[in-house]
Structure 1
Amino acid sequence: MSSASEHHGRPGQPGRPGQPGPGKPHHGGDADVWTTGGTLFAGVLMLVNGLLGVFAGIAGIAKDDVYARIGDYVYKFSLTTWGWIHLVLGIVIAVTGWGILKGASWAKATGVALAALGIVAQFLWLPYTPVWAFISIAIGVFVIWALCTDRADSAGP
């Protein structure tokens, strides 16, 4: 037989994520685990995607012929400009991803805004790396969903 402390942490402490605490009904425990896991995964994706953006930015700044444009596109910038955009955006996205992993209060709203900005930037970047741009857009959509569905901060005691 298991003790109450195995299910709810230390006596007097709230239960683990997804587990009801003492005197709390068990409502949506599995959903809480999924949203918490989704938020953690969104933080990791932002951190990795930001670092990859930094590397893409450095490559664009260092050599103007690293990326080749596929077809003609309405939104045109020089590769050096794109390099600086990716470098700055990548640093800010990586820092925000780290903030999400650390549980910073500012990080969720900032993460949603940066993921939206990243989606727009990747759309404009389509002629240079179309497959990666679509993957980054999908990552941005997931990050927005995960950060908007996590209600851990707004849940009352």
Structure 2
Amino acid sequence: MSSPQTGPSSEQPRADTHQAEQRAHGPEQQKQWAMTSAPEASAMSGWLAFAGSLILLVGIFNIIDGFTALFRTDYFIVGEGQLLVFNFATWGAIWLVLGVLQVATGVGCLYDMTWARTTGIVLASLCAIGHLAFLAAFPLWSLLVIALSVLVIYGLVVPGKRATT
């Protein structure tokens, strides 16, 4: 006793055949799907993040130095004529420009830009040399910024995770 819905001419054999075809192709498709790797996340090097943060911080320090040299010349230990090079107004302008460039480079490092490593090394070197010349005006601060600049250079020179030899 077969009803018209379950009889031999019904859609049941076609559905079974369709399910059998899906099962036959299913494992291959599932295997291909399972064997494809997830897109590799580009993780930033820890040293690059450290150096980017540090050069950003040193850039902000240099901007503060620049404003201080421009507007409060009495803040420093030595007078205008006792500076190693230039005067306080010139130093203020130099520190402002260098600080803004360092902040931009620090942001570039944090976004893993390729140009930021080289630019950061150059700017940190210029900052260390500049603070060496500024040493007489503000010795402890200059030594601290020189040490931070050396750390920035080290952090930018260390190879990243994706580097190959």
TM-score, normalised relative to structure 2: 0.69
CA contact (8 A) 2:83 2:137 kept: no
Look up the match of 2:77: 68
1:59 and 2:68 correspond: yes
Candidates 68, 79, 84, aligned match of 2:93: 84
Match of 2:137 in 1: 128
Cα 1:66–1:74 shift into 2, 3 Å: closer
Q: Distance in 1 between the 2:48 and 2:102 partners?
A: 15
Q: How far does residue 38 in structure 1 lie from its aligned partner after superposition?
A: 1.8
The offset of 1:60, in angstroms, is 1.2
Higher relative contact order structure (alpha carbons within 8 Å, sequence separation ≥ 6):
2
**Larger gyration radius, structure 1 or structure 2:** 2
Instruction: Mark the runs of 5 or more structure 2 residues left unpaired by the alignment.
Output: 1-35
Counterpart residue identity of residue 63, structure 1: R
| Residue deviations 1:105-143 (CA, integer Å, cap 9, x gap) | 110011111111111011011011111111111111111
Alignment-mate amino acid for residue 70 of structure 2: I
Two-structure CA RMSD over aligned residues (Å):
2.5
Aligned-partner Cα distance in 1 for 2:77–2:119: 32
| Structure 1: gaps spanning 5 or more residues | 1-9, 18-32
Shift of 1:15: 6.6
Compared CA separation, residues 69 and 99, structure 1 to 2 (3 A)? same
Q: What secondary structure does 1:69 align onto? A: coil
State the 1:78 CA deviation.
1.1
Aligned position for 1:102? 111
Q: Distance in 2 between matches of 1:57 and 1:152?
A: 36
Instruction: Normalising by structure 1, report the TM-score.
Output: 0.72
Number of aligned residues:
129
Identical counterparts, % of pairs: 29
- Per the alignment, residue 50 of structure 1 pairs with 59
